[in-house]
Amino acid sequence: MTCRHAKSLLEDYIDGDLELDQSAEVDSHLNICKECRGEYHQALRLKEFLENQPIFDPGEDYWRETTELILARTEASPSERVAPENRRPIWDTGRATLARAAASFAVSLGVLVSAVVIGSMQPAQIVDSTDIDNPFVMTASVRDAVGTSGNELLTAAESSRLARGTLLLGAPGMLGKGIAFRELLTSTK
Amino acid sequence: MNKTVPELVEMFVGGDQKAFAELVHRYKKKLYSLAYHILRNHLDADEVVQETFVRIYKRREELLNVNYFSTFLTRIATNYSIDLLRKQKNRQAVPDDTDSLPGFIQLDLSRRVATPSQTFENKELMEEIQRALESLPARQQATAVLHDIEGYSKAEIARIFDCPQATVRSNLHIARAKLRKILKGRLIR
Ligand SMILES: [Zn+2]
């Protein structure tokens, strides 16, 4: 095994993602090659440090108050009912079938049209987000953003925080276009 | 409540507020830890925790498969964290003073067992690793946090991001290679 080959397998080796025979090959290379062994130990040390990153513990009072806050906010807000034909199962993480892709594209198109219509009322507030380097489209957070913005039980500050969500259009794995919807939402309140 | 998560989710979807409270109780620290490691400050982590639960509550009727509850919850939290992170990266970095507070200790998460002496001994390198992490693009940073700090598997992360597992793997390898490059000799014992 060359050093180049060994180094290309180091991460998978550390994660235990290699087949047994490949793992054994890396093993024996590390035994005879000081340079690769050095790299291996550095990678291992980084992993160790990452696994042991400390965290700020806000304390039991915080946990209790936050739980109460969440429950208070949710008790006051009923589940949002969506027309079945517009419903996109949020648990569904599989690749889009053609039919589902087409359906969700149609839904997206509808949202896009509404966004344009709403946007035309406040054109200056629309932000074209170019910071989305996400090559895959998440399950739409469209309703996350839209649904929460109209909740009168929220303070203005909360609403603006809620409206920070990014709106991504399109079917999973199909379209990569996205627009930021936050300012648009806060402005239409 | 001695119920399993799928049982609780089923009750929660049926409108049982106590089941929801129990789910909040079971997942809040895990979500906080994830958000904190991505965003590195308490206020943003708190916002992510609250928003995630409020959003899943509102969309509970779409949770057709109770086994995907955890994935979906983590997806909401991760997407929201990435969104806040991109905002953070776009504005001047706000210094977080939480690590100078006495509360800066390990959360009670059984997976993490670093002793306090280890933590202090390596504090400097920990901070350097943190700065290196922050220099990564949001998606790579989140992938590294999910896998290497929070311990999610590549398969879980692929479901969370709704992308192929190979993409998670390559994002992770790129992130680690960048970290090692930034930290260079600092990782040699
Ligand atoms: Zn070698």
Q: Please name the residues between 13 and 32 in chain A that touch chain B, using a CB distance below 8 Å.
A: 15, 17
- Which of A15, A66, A147 is opposite residue B50, by nearest beta carbon? A66
Task: Kindly state whether residue A159 falls inside one of the protein's structural domains.
Answer: yes
pLDDT digits (tens, 9 = 90+) for A113-162: 555 554 444 433 333 333 333 323 233 333 333 233 323 233 333 334 44
Task: Kindly state whether residue A10 falls inside one of the protein's structural domains.
Answer: yes
Query: Is the Cβ–Cβ distance between B47 and B38 less than 8 Å?
Result: no
Task: Kindly state whether residue A57 falls inside one of the protein's structural domains.
Answer: no
Task: Kindly state whether residue A164 falls inside one of the protein's structural domains.
Answer: yes
Q: Chain B: nearest CA to A120, how far in angstroms?
A: 25
Interchain proximity A38–B188, CB inside 8 Å: yes
Query: Is the Cβ–Cβ distance between A168 and A140 less than 8 Å?
Result: yes
Which segment of A3-12, A15-24, A89-98, B149-158 scores lowest on mean pLDDT? A89-98
Q: Is A153 on the interface with B (CB under 8 A)?
A: no
pLDDT band at A34 (very low <50, low <70, confident <90, very high): very high
User: A9 CA to middle of ligand 1, Å?
Assistant: 11
Convert chain B into a string of H (helix), E (strand) and C (coil): CCCCHHHHHHHHHCCCHHHHHHHHHHHHHHHHHHHHHHHCCHHHHHHHHHHHHHHHHHCHHHCCCHHHHHHHHHHHHHHHHHHHHHHHHHCCCCCCHHHHCCCECCCCCCCCCCCHHHHHHCHHHHHHHHHHHHCCCHHHHHHHHHHHHCCCCHHHHHHHHCCCHHHHHHHHHHHHHHHHHHHHHHHCC
- Whole domain around residue A159: which residue ranges? 128-188
- Which of A52, A74, A89 is opposite residue B112, by nearest beta carbon? A52
What pLDDT is attached to residue A54?
83
Interchain proximity B125–A49, CB inside 8 Å: yes
Contacts of B51 in chain A (CB under 8 A): 161-162
Contacts of B188 in chain A (CB under 8 A): 38, 41-42, 45
| Segments in chain A forming alpha helices (H) | 3-15, 20-32, 34-51, 60-75, 98-121, 142-149, 156-162, 182-187
Over range A29-48, report the average pLDDT. Answer: 94
pLDDT digits (tens, 9 = 90+) for B67-84: 889 999 999 999 999 999
- State how far the Cα of A23 lies from the Cα of A138, in Å rounded to an integer: 35
Protein residues with C-beta less than 5 angstroms from the ion ligand 1: A 3, 6, 33, 36
Domain count along chain A = 2
Task: Kindly state whether residue A67 falls inside one of the protein's structural domains.
Answer: no
Task: Kindly state whether residue A91 falls inside one of the protein's structural domains.
Answer: no
- Which of A15, A41, A173 is opposite residue B162, by nearest beta carbon? A173
B65's CB contacts (< 8 A; 6+ apart) are A89, A91, A92
User: B132 CA to middle of ligand 1, Å?
Assistant: 26
Q: Is A60 on the interface with B (CB under 8 A)?
A: no
Interchain proximity B80–A77, CB inside 8 Å: no
Task: Kindly state whether residue A69 falls inside one of the protein's structural domains.
Answer: no
User: A40 CA to middle of ligand 1, Å?
Assistant: 10
Q: What percent of chain A has pLDDT over 70?
A: 40
Query: Is the Cβ–Cβ distance between B72 and A90 less than 8 Å?
Result: yes
What pLDDT is attached to residue A137?
29
What pLDDT is attached to residue B17?
92
User: Residue A178 forms beta bridges with which residues?
Assistant: A168
- Domains, chain B, with CATH or none: 1-93 (1.10.1740.10), 94-189 (1.10.10.10)
Task: Kindly state whether residue A155 falls inside one of the protein's structural domains.
Answer: yes
